[in-house]
Amino acid sequence: MTTSVEPTSESQAAPVETPRLSLDTAAARNLATTTKTPPQMQAITSRWLLKVLPWTQVSGGTFRVNRRLTHTVGNGRVEFFSTGPEIRVIPAELTELPALAGFDDPETLEALASACVQRDFAPGEVVVRAGDPADRLVLIAHGKLSRRGVGAYDGETDFGVLADGDFFADDTLTDAEPGAYEHGLTALTSGTVLTLARADFARVSENSPALREHLAAVDTRLPGQRNAQGESAIALAAGHVGEPALPGTFVDYEASPREYELSVAQTVLRVHSRVADLYNEPMSQVEEQLRLTVEALRERQEHELVNNREFGLLHNADPRQRLHTRSGPPTPDDLDELLATVWKEPSVLLAHPRAIAAFGRECNARGLYPAPTEISGHSVPSWRGVPLLPCDKIPVNAAGSSSILALRTGLERQGVVGLHRTGIPDEYQPSLSVRFMGISEQAIISYLVSAYYSVAVLVPDALGILEDVEIGH
């Protein structure tokens, strides 16, 4: 019979470490100088918008954009407010309709808003059928609708997408004989519209002398007084025979052109004198602190150029230059439509990196592989030869949608230009200054770091935006 032997305490004891025969690396580091990098900052991005914008010197602190006189035709977007499931149009927003542009009678506007009837719709539902009598205005409060009609060869043609804030068939309210709807509206998503019947509009007009007077003045605006862009027309004659009397003309200007004041991003950099004096090898503490501060200011500058409500690109695009995607994600068809808004000479497309990825998925699904292009020595994605550059300052909302911007840049091309002022005191970089502010009683050195900037859209068709771009899978 075999018996097991329990291990002794000597057999369980840990092995005895042998003494080291050379200097340990941990001790050797006390006599060595480590190899180190400058301080790294994850928030630094490529800042393509700052690179592609041509910068214009603004010596007086204000940049005035002079344009030809434009006749306002009320081509904006209508806004709404909701109380539970009930949605109403804001009365003052009805002045965005061409026929009501400049009308300011609150009681009449309230009566028109009260006459609007709410209608909810489901995906695939026909909200307006082409060929039906044109008897009502349609205001889109929420959702997407496809505008469709008969094309040149009797087939159904898609004439674009209408979405939140758009309106349809506004001319039916004022035309003497509105006829039938040339296009129909088919719902792409669920949503809500408000309709204003022609009969209700006529009833309110009968009770409002101010509205009748306003509509009569609108009727006197002859189409020949302005061109397709709404600018005051220049009378010309072409192709004549003989010796006809040539028309006389002049180019009228806007009486109150828009002015852009330079904005500023500032901060106070503080460095203790002890740190600045004793810890400057192998890298200057002040220079590294300043470098990272300037990087943060430049990041904020790009954010403001995109998102600032006064001059930012997202908030200063003309309503006629805003498009919606046909289905949700950004397709090649959508980007073609976007480029058509700045067709004269598109310079660049800007999108959030996730929106670029969503566009790439759509291209992959169709078997398309857009050729990259080179810009500033970098190979970047492109569409139709126009660089498609990432910009993480374009927001992505909670619903997972974003926007894509198309720009024509340059002063000579009547595009989008950056504004700055060079030659300022204590200039550290163009239009960025670093001023010494003194040393406090706590021996803290202070520097005022300031960056001056703005951006101007010289003419409306220099900027186009594709809105509500879905970036999820």
pLDDT digits (tens, 9 = 90+) for 116-148: 999 999 988 999 988 888 889 999 988 889 988
Residues 6+ apart with CB under 8 A from 401: 468, 469, 470, 471
Residue 291 pLDDT more than 60? yes
pLDDT of residue 7: 55
Q: What is the Rg, in whole angstroms, of the alpha carbon atoms belonging to the chain? A: 32
Instruction: Answer yes or no: are the C-beta atoms of 95 and 102 closer than 8 Å.
Output: yes
* DSSP letter assigned to residue 70: B
Question: Domain spans of the chain?
Answer: 48-59+262-470, 80-220
Q: Is 11 helix (H, G, I), strand (E, B) or coil?
A: helix
Q: What percent of the chain has pLDDT over 70?
A: 92
**47 HSE (CA, 13 A, CB side):** 16
Tens of pLDDT, residue by residue over 151-162, are 777 677 888 888
pLDDT of residue 216: 83
d(CA 242, CA 223): 27
Q: Is 447 helix (H, G, I), strand (E, B) or coil?
A: strand
Q: How many CB atoms lie within 10 A of CB 318?
A: 17
DSSP string of 165-192, one letter each residue: T-EE-GGGGT-SS--B-SEEEEESS-EE
DSSP string of 322-364, one letter each residue: EEE-SSSS--HHHHHHHHHHTTT---EEEE-HHHHHHHHHHHH
d(CA 330, CA 76): 24
CATH dotted code for 80-220 = 2.60.120.10
- Model confidence at 220, pLDDT cuts 50, 70, 90, reads low
Q: How many CB atoms lie within 10 A of CB 452?
A: 22
Cα 236 from chain centre: 37
**pTM for the full predicted model:** 0.79
d(CA 187, CA 189): 5
Region 37-59: what's the mean pLDDT?
92
pLDDT of residue 117: 93
Residue 243 pLDDT more than 90? no
pLDDT of residue 63: 92
**Which two three-digit tokens encode residue 125?**
């539902």
CA-to-CA separations, 419 to 62, 70, 301, 436, in angstroms, rounded: 9, 24, 12, 25
Q: What is the mean pLDDT of the chain?
A: 87
pLDDT of residue 169: 87
Instruction: Answer yes or no: are the C-beta atoms of 167 and 139 closer than 8 Å.
Output: yes
Task: Report residue 301: phi and psi, to 5°.
Answer: -60, -45
With tokens 């600018």, the residue in question is 231
Task: Give strand pairing partners of 269.
Answer: 447
